[in-house]
Structure 1
Amino acid sequence: MDSAARQNNENITAELIRMLAQQSRITPAPMLAALAVIAFFAADSLPRWLWAGWFSIAAMLLIFRAQFLARLPEMTQFTQRQQLTLTLVITFFNGVMHGVPLLYFSAFTELERAVITMILMGTSSINVSTTAGYRPIAVAYTLPTLGMAAVIWGLHGWAARPDWTSLSVAVLIVLYLPLLISLAGNGFRIFESSYRERLVQSAVNTQLQNILEQAESASSAKTRFLASASHDLRQPIHALSLFGSALSKRPLDDESRDIVMHMETALKALASQLDSLLDISKLDAGVVNINRQTFNLLDMAERLQVEFGPAAEEKGLSIWLDCYVDVFVDTDELLFERILRNLLSNAIKYTDSGKIMLSINAEEDLVTVSVVDSGRGIPKAEQQRVFEEFYQLENPERDRRKGLGLGLAIVKRLVKLLDLKFSLYSVPSDGTRISLTLPISHECPQTAPDQPKAMASWETLRLLVVDDEMEVGLGMQALLETFGATVDVADSTASALELGLANRPDILLADFRLRGEDNGLETIRNLRAVYPKLPAILISGDTAPDRLREANEAGIKLLHKPVAAPILEDAIAEACNLQVMEN
């Protein structure tokens, strides 16, 4: 026998021993009840010392066997074969003790003999079922009980004159014995088969768990890589954006202004693609908060129709709106609009002729918003894959004008976040319908009155910029000084604290990730220890989910590089109660 087969047999034997230990708790109660019935019969015809002594010894032996089997897996001083041999010996003596009353066969009435025989047949069946049908143990108990019963009934039938009833019972027991042993063998084969199937299933589960862990590890590695790549790319783009914005605010001739405009357009396109990566990271990090409010779907649909109309017209398409009544819903308006924007953009991208329809269908308490196109459609096999990150149909050359393949991945995450019912129906060459279903709100939106903004002067503002990249710091300084503000630039928490102590800043703009273990959160904490209510904004090129969660938990406004000049201006103005400058 090879080592693999030997190991397999050892495993099955170990499993049998564990099962014997578990079943040992079940056997004593019914066995003791059966022995008590036999003792009750014997009490009428046998001396008390005889039947009581027998019952006491049989009961103690039965309890000893149960306790022995319960501790069997712990008896490592014995080999598996020795453990089973001991079990077999103890079971044999149990069988002998249970068969002893048959020696006093003639002392019982005919009915009592029949009942005792049926009891022994029942205890034999219990023995087989509680030992997984292991044949040696089954035989060890059955031979001294049913074997003795067959012999006693046969001898009684031929004792004086042929008693055909007794002989018939003897024959039936003889026929039952091999049947019971055969059933025991079948039971043990089922036990072995079940154990092997469990081993196979366990191996498959382990393999699947390993595959899942590898997939999760690969996903984490991808996330870390994208976060690192995003950070490294955002730094120079952010600096270029700042210098470009600063340059656009200076007096330029028409040709130079045209160059600056094209440069800013290219930077915006690149920033838009990087922001798609950021959206994925934010959703995966769980830092996207839902701001539920009641709004009118018709207003949103009309706005999107106007917005996407020019892009559709460039391809010879038209956008139709199939809704003419007000429909109010209660969800996050910005996130829901982001879903529709991505779906409309995708529909225009993959439709060459015909139309795009934005449909709003209200029925009872539910409304279904659908984006329907007459485009190329999605093959059945691809309808799940198109929602994966970076997966695009018909873009093997990775044309950046077709995006990064993140639009539908973002849609999938936003649909889950907003708990919307989502469906997709598509036929190749016959278009696609993507539908979102959500409850109708029966409340009308309340418009908050405009709050008057406090007025302050940029010229009196002192800003402290902290960034370990010199070009970024200088770019921020160049841009912010065009607003008339005074700007100090530091490259670490230590230098920021030194500058902040020398001249109190009105606001702190700190890069999230600085050199080494230093970071913008630490900078903000140190400066706020000196100036407790100091306004602060974090600026980061890092899109790792852990970083996003950390910033979100700190409760500090976070801007992501590259930051467009108007967004930066609005954020500073909001934090410092300034008036946004007119361009």
Structure 2
Amino acid sequence: MSLIVPPMPAPAPAADEIALQTPRQALLTHLARQSPVVAAPIFLSALAIAAVASREVPRGWALGWLVLVCLVLALRSVVLPRLARPGPASEATRMRVALAMSVVNGLVLGSAVVFAPWLHTVELAVVTIVLMFVSAGVVSTNLGYRPMLLAYLVPSVGSLVLVWALVGPAGSTPEMRGLGIVVAILVGLFALSLLAMGRRAWQQHVQAIAARHEQQRLTRELGAALARAEAANRAKTHFLAAASHDLRQPMHTLSLFGAALLMRPLDERSREIAQHMDGALRVLGSQLDALLDVSRLDAGVVRAESLNFALGDFVQRLCRDMQPVARARGLGLELDIEGGQHVCTDPLLLERIVRNLIDNALKYTERGQVTVRLRPIGERLELSIADTGRGIPEHEQARVFEEFYQLGNPGRDRERGLGLGLSIVRRLADLLGIELALKSIFGSGTTVTLQLPVVAAAEAAPRPAPPSAEALRGCRVLVIDDELTVRSGMHALLESHGCVVSLAADGAEALAAAHRSQPDIVLADLRLQDDESGIDCIHRLRQLWPDLPALLISGDIAPARLRQAHDTNLRLLHKPVDADLLRAAMVDALDA
């Protein structure tokens, strides 16, 4: 809302107060807010007129007129706020009362012209200027609403026109009559200009109210759209969590039996079949792990643990690990390292980022090579992964970081994953505070760069040696899982490590088995039947043996479940669990 005339500035009504009001309702609100603001300028103006008039008329008359002005101001301060509040009176009735107040205000202030026959030219000119000053302020006070503006201008400014045209100042000569007519015309023109300004002010007010109504409508529509999008996102998360859980259960069983099978003596052909089966399970497991990464990031349970390490050595190891994949695809994997600077970040999360980027570059490069380059740039290290693939069209480049988006994979080739790799990269880069940039020319390849701050080298802690196959021999393990096939698979795998295994389907069976043979460690499924959880089972067992080591194993990736497990400070392994990872986690828990 624009205020057209500045003599009596006043704050516009708050947007939230008038957003759903009509223009006239908003005007009533504005009048109520303006009433205490304009009282002081009007009183000072009336005081100036009374002071000028008291020099020529009896002071009692001037004082009486000033008291009358004050009474009108007091009446306005009581009536106008009530008009703004909703009540039984209709809007039309309240507007008529406000209009009457404008008439009273104009009549009382305009009645100052009764002093004109006693005022000389200079004194009458002062009264005229003061009344015109107040009239200019009325435009902003009434937001230019024409009926209300006329209700004030006609008695106040109109009386000035008549006085100058017909009466004139005291002691005026016939020659002065012409000057009085000129002044009357100028005052009349000023009143017309105020009406024109008022018309524009009212139009702007109406347009502002319409814009606020439109803004409210758009805000409601946007809110509804956001609610639908959030509901769809929750449904997607729920579906992915449920689907992942149902897929992970049999996969976990297969991986357990597969790992147990590979530890047995097999002929060459059988071992080859078992290895192919294990490889297929690992591919599928990596795709489910991508869903898990997204859910863990959504749940906010991923915490960065920064370490000081040489980035060059780190990148060399990753490239060495990825060389077999590159050779299998007939591609070159080149490494170009300048300097041996250190960085301080989470090496595991950074490895997830870099592996995803290299893997993605190898998947989308049909011929040529992928180049991993590390070079210092000022106080930062820039790690870039450049490929000679097909490149990404400019209009698609922002979308490659979206979930489930894949470029150039209409057949949904599963070897290319689920389209989550770059989404995970972006989220992890944000978590670690790493600058991530993508540059691609369609038909010429793509380069993704990471920038990390350089830090001073620190003495590295020695890495613990991986646990041997004999580390768990003789260990008493209690497995709690409501799936018979999972219990059987865990039994086969753990027995191959030399463990003594007890099995339980729920908390009651777990307590009974524990009383028969006190376990050294518990492996519990997070979600059991009948709303029972592995967390509850572990807590009950720890009431008997407070320091009992325990691990949670789950195929559930729902963010709420992940947060629940994270809050217990129990280590959570996700199905399908890699046999080496399970052995290492058990050894860590026992050592702790």
Aligned residue for 1:464, secondary structure, equals strand
Q: For 1:258-297, what aligned pairs fall within 5 Å after superposition?
A: 258-297=272-311
2:87 to 76, 81, 84: 76
Q: Is the 8 A contact 1:376 1:431 kept in 2?
A: yes
Once the 2 structures are TM-superposed, how far is the Cα of residue 225 of structure 1 from its aligned partner? 0.7
Q: Is the 8 A contact 1:244 1:263 kept in 2?
A: yes
- Aligned match of 1:66: 77
Separation in structure 2 between the aligned mates of residue 502 and residue 314 of structure 1, nearest angstrom: 52
Separation in structure 2 between the aligned mates of residue 448 and residue 249 of structure 1, nearest angstrom: 30
Once the 2 structures are TM-superposed, how far is the Cα of residue 48 of structure 1 from its aligned partner? 3.0
| Matched AA of 1:68 | V
Q: Does 1:379 align with 2:393?
A: yes
Q: Is the 8 A contact 1:509 1:536 kept in 2?
A: yes
The total of aligned residue pairs comes to: 571
Residue identity (%): 40
- Aligned match of 1:352: 366
CA 1:332–1:459: 2 relative to 1, 3 Å = closer
Once the 2 structures are TM-superposed, how far is the Cα of residue 320 of structure 1 from its aligned partner? 2.0
- Aligned match of 1:206: 220
- Aligned match of 1:138: 149
Separation in structure 1 between the aligned mates of residue 358 and residue 291 of structure 2, nearest angstrom: 19
Once the 2 structures are TM-superposed, how far is the Cα of residue 577 of structure 1 from its aligned partner? 3.4
- Bigger Cα displacement from structure 2, 537-546 vs 569-578: 569-578
CA 1:84–1:160: 2 relative to 1, 3 Å = same
Aligned residue for 2:442, secondary structure, equals coil
| Matched AA of 1:258 | E
Q: Does 1:518 align with 2:561?
A: no
Once the 2 structures are TM-superposed, how far is the Cα of residue 266 of structure 1 from its aligned partner? 1.4
Separation in structure 2 between the aligned mates of residue 88 and residue 318 of structure 1, nearest angstrom: 86
Separation in structure 2 between the aligned mates of residue 468 and residue 544 of structure 1, nearest angstrom: 19
Separation in structure 1 between the aligned mates of residue 557 and residue 466 of structure 2, nearest angstrom: 35
Q: Does 1:149 align with 2:163?
A: no
- Aligned match of 1:216: 230
Separation in structure 2 between the aligned mates of residue 449 and residue 179 of structure 1, nearest angstrom: 86
CA 1:257–1:409: 2 relative to 1, 3 Å = same
Separation in structure 2 between the aligned mates of residue 450 and residue 402 of structure 1, nearest angstrom: 34
- Bigger Cα displacement from structure 2, 141-150 vs 525-534: 525-534
Q: Does 1:240 align with 2:254?
A: yes
Separation in structure 2 between the aligned mates of residue 296 and residue 460 of structure 1, nearest angstrom: 40
Q: Is the 8 A contact 2:20 2:213 kept in 1?
A: no
CA 1:156–1:569: 2 relative to 1, 3 Å = same
Once the 2 structures are TM-superposed, how far is the Cα of residue 497 of structure 1 from its aligned partner? 2.3
Once the 2 structures are TM-superposed, how far is the Cα of residue 445 of structure 1 from its aligned partner? 4.0
Q: CA RMSD in A?
A: 2.2
CA 1:347–1:542: 2 relative to 1, 3 Å = same
Separation in structure 1 between the aligned mates of residue 319 and residue 189 of structure 2, nearest angstrom: 88
- Aligned match of 1:161: 174
Once the 2 structures are TM-superposed, how far is the Cα of residue 498 of structure 1 from its aligned partner? 2.8
Once the 2 structures are TM-superposed, how far is the Cα of residue 83 of structure 1 from its aligned partner? 0.4
CA 1:250–1:373: 2 relative to 1, 3 Å = closer
Q: Is the 8 A contact 1:25 1:70 kept in 2?
A: no
- Bigger Cα displacement from structure 2, 103-112 vs 369-378: 103-112
Q: Does 1:195 align with 2:209?
A: yes
Q: Does 1:367 align with 2:378?
A: no
Once the 2 structures are TM-superposed, how far is the Cα of residue 477 of structure 1 from its aligned partner? 1.5
Q: Is the 8 A contact 2:257 2:493 kept in 1?
A: yes
CA 1:205–1:552: 2 relative to 1, 3 Å = same
Separation in structure 1 between the aligned mates of residue 416 and residue 137 of structure 2, nearest angstrom: 73
Aligned residue for 2:503, secondary structure, equals strand
Once the 2 structures are TM-superposed, how far is the Cα of residue 9 of structure 1 from its aligned partner? 11
- Bigger Cα displacement from structure 2, 185-194 vs 199-208: 199-208
- Bigger Cα displacement from structure 2, 301-310 vs 33-42: 301-310
| Matched AA of 2:403 | E
CA 1:395–1:414: 2 relative to 1, 3 Å = same
Q: Is the 8 A contact 1:294 1:331 kept in 2?
A: yes
Once the 2 structures are TM-superposed, how far is the Cα of residue 459 of structure 1 from its aligned partner? 4.6
Once the 2 structures are TM-superposed, how far is the Cα of residue 343 of structure 1 from its aligned partner? 1.0
Once the 2 structures are TM-superposed, how far is the Cα of residue 450 of structure 1 from its aligned partner? 5.5
CA 1:22–1:485: 2 relative to 1, 3 Å = same
**Runs (5+) with no aligned partner, structure 2:** 1-18
- Aligned match of 1:253: 267
CA 1:259–1:309: 2 relative to 1, 3 Å = closer
| Matched AA of 1:141 | Y
Aligned residue for 1:516, secondary structure, equals coil
| Matched AA of 1:427 | I
- Normalising by structure 1, we get a TM-score of 0.94
Deviation per CA, 1:244-278: give whole Å up to 9, x if none: 22233333333333322222121111111111111
Q: Is the 8 A contact 1:453 1:577 kept in 2?
A: no
Q: Does 1:16 align with 2:23?
A: no
Q: Is the 8 A contact 2:34 2:141 kept in 1?
A: yes
1:557 to 571, 584, 590: 571
- Aligned match of 2:8: none
Once the 2 structures are TM-superposed, how far is the Cα of residue 457 of structure 1 from its aligned partner? 6.7
CA 1:325–1:473: 2 relative to 1, 3 Å = same
Q: Does 1:31 align with 2:42?
A: yes
Q: For 1:99-114, what aligned pairs fall within 5 Å after superposition?
A: 99-114=110-125
- Aligned match of 1:426: 440
- Bigger Cα displacement from structure 2, 102-111 vs 497-506: 497-506
| Matched AA of 1:341 | R
Deviation per CA, 1:358-414: give whole Å up to 9, x if none: 111212211211111111000011101111111111111111111111110111101
Once the 2 structures are TM-superposed, how far is the Cα of residue 455 of structure 1 from its aligned partner? 12
Separation in structure 2 between the aligned mates of residue 298 and residue 448 of structure 1, nearest angstrom: 18
Separation in structure 1 between the aligned mates of residue 398 and residue 253 of structure 2, nearest angstrom: 39
| Matched AA of 1:488 | S
Aligned residue for 2:36, secondary structure, equals coil
CA 1:507–1:427: 2 relative to 1, 3 Å = same
CA 1:321–1:250: 2 relative to 1, 3 Å = closer
CA 1:51–1:157: 2 relative to 1, 3 Å = closer
- Aligned match of 1:581: none
1:472 to 474, 486, 501: 486
2:544 to 486, 507, 530: 530
| Matched AA of 2:123 | E
- Aligned match of 2:451: 437
- Aligned match of 2:65: 54
- Aligned match of 1:300: 314
Separation in structure 2 between the aligned mates of residue 385 and residue 530 of structure 1, nearest angstrom: 54
| Matched AA of 1:102 | V
Once the 2 structures are TM-superposed, how far is the Cα of residue 205 of structure 1 from its aligned partner? 2.0
Separation in structure 2 between the aligned mates of residue 275 and residue 552 of structure 1, nearest angstrom: 17
Q: Does 1:184 align with 2:198?
A: yes
- Aligned match of 1:340: 354
Separation in structure 1 between the aligned mates of residue 96 and residue 392 of structure 2, nearest angstrom: 67
Q: Is the 8 A contact 1:117 1:149 kept in 2?
A: yes
Once the 2 structures are TM-superposed, how far is the Cα of residue 75 of structure 1 from its aligned partner? 4.8
Aligned residue for 2:22, secondary structure, equals helix
Once the 2 structures are TM-superposed, how far is the Cα of residue 93 of structure 1 from its aligned partner? 0.8
**Runs (5+) with no aligned partner, structure 1:** 1-7, 579-583
CA 1:370–1:525: 2 relative to 1, 3 Å = same
